Amino acid sequence: MAKLVYGLNQSLDGFVDHTKLGPPVPAAFHYFIELVRGLTGLIYGRRMYEIMRYWDEDLPDWDAEDRDFAVAWRSQPKWVVSRSLKSVGPNATLVADDFETVIRRLKAELAGEIHVGGPVLAQSLTEAGLIDEYRLYLHPVVLGGGKPLFAGPQPPLHLVASDLIAEDVIRLTYVPAESRDSPDGLRRRVRSTFGRERKSSQVTHF
């Protein structure tokens, strides 16, 4: 069974605006290149996928690390959850309806790590009890506003690791607290916590 991991770079005050965070320092970029190379695949919401399509075509001002990341990213299968997109790029599959069933099947049929990109999509998958691990990459920047890493309430989380991965970049790794004892118990807890607020198991848009 595959592990579903939600992780993004964020400011110290919890925002994920990549244009303000700036490019990662070289050591962090190397870490992310190796991370992407080792994945089983990537799941995106519409907005995050459109941002990441930057890597679909080489640009003349790229250096060797840019090209290495692009090659690693292009090689990974991608699933894009969106009801507004009509098509997606190379090595990508559009998931327009019943995304929860599709992702449950991916988790059951595949092995390794599948990474989730996009706060809104990650929130929907959290509410469905599908996120196995959260990785917060903290950068020494305070933005004061923007899009938050978490798009809504989360179940209780348990810190399992904290690592310095590069100059001033810290990775905090969390799992849903009840997952240590009972995956089925976690699903019941998540559904109980969010079920009253949830209007539909379908995502309206990403």
176 domain-assigned: yes
Count how many residues are written for the chain. Answer: 206
Average pLDDT, integer, range 57-85:
97
- Is residue 188 over pLDDT 80? no
**Average pLDDT value for residue range 27-34:** 96
Structural domain tally of the chain? 1
Span 98-105, average pLDDT? 96
- What pLDDT does 76 receive? 98
The rounded mean pLDDT for the chain is: 89
Phi, psi torsion values for 7, nearest 5 degrees: -155, 140
What is the predicted pLDDT for the residue at 206? Answer: 41
Residues 154-182 have pLDDT tens digits of: 889 999 999 999 989 999 999 999 765 43
For residue 203, is it within any domain?
no
**Is 136 within the bounds of a domain?**
yes
* Residue 165 belongs to some domain of the structure: yes
Residue range of the domain that includes 10:
3-194
How distant, in Å, are the alpha carbons of 70, 76, 98, 182 from that of 115?
A: 16, 11, 19, 22
Q: Which CATH number is 47's domain given?
A: 3.40.430.10
pLDDT digits (tens, 9 = 90+) for 117-140: 999 999 999 999 999 999 999 999
Q: Half-sphere exposure of residue 148, counting CA atoms within 13 Å on the CB side?
A: 7
